[in-house]
């Protein structure tokens, strides 16, 4: 009963979406894990519905905002190196679960 887990299923996807998921599954690309992380932890509208207390909503929005701000500063300072390091770290994180 986790409110962050989507209710959709593989059968409800379009043929194109299923083809992409099949390709990623075959070649060990962590697409599903990445989409889950993004849709669960960075979807402010979805989580606004889950947090009923205003203080929790404010804290969540502040956390997401700070993460985005830090990433923007790192992109400005390091340029494309940031993306190379971040993508490598994200791939290692998602592949080892």
What are the tens digits of pLDDT across the range 3-52? 555 566 656 778 887 888 788 888 877 777 777 777 777 777 777 776 66
Helix (H, G, I), strand (E, B) or coil at 87: helix
Please give the tally of structural domains in the chain: 1
Mean pLDDT of 69-93: 87
pTM recorded for the entire structure: 0.49
Domain of residue 39, residue span: 10-95
**How open is the CA angle 10-7-60, to the nearest 5 degrees?**
125
Strands of 1-97, DSSP E:
none
What is the reported pLDDT for 62?
86
Residue 24 in contact with residue 32, Cβ under 8 Å? yes
pLDDT at residue 79 greater than cutoff 80 = yes
User: Mean pLDDT score of the chain, rounded to an integer?
Assistant: 77
pLDDT at residue 97 greater than cutoff 70 = no
Please indicate, yes or no, if residue 57 is contained in any of the structural domains.
yes
Where residue 53 falls (left for φ over 0; alpha for ψ -120 to 50; beta otherwise) is: beta
């Amino acid at each position: 009963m986790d409110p962050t887990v989507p209710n959709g299923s593989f059968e409800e996807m379009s043929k194109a979406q299923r083809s992409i998921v099949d390709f990623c599954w075959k070649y060990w690309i962590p697409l599903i894990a990445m989409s889950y992380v993004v849709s669960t932890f960075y979807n402010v509208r979805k989580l606004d519905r889950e947090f009923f207390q205003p203080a929790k909503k404010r804290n969540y929005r502040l956390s997401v905002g700070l993460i985005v701000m830090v990433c923007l500063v790192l992109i400005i300072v390091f340029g494309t190196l940031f993306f190379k390091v971040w993508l490598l770290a994200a791939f290692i994180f998602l592949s080892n679960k």
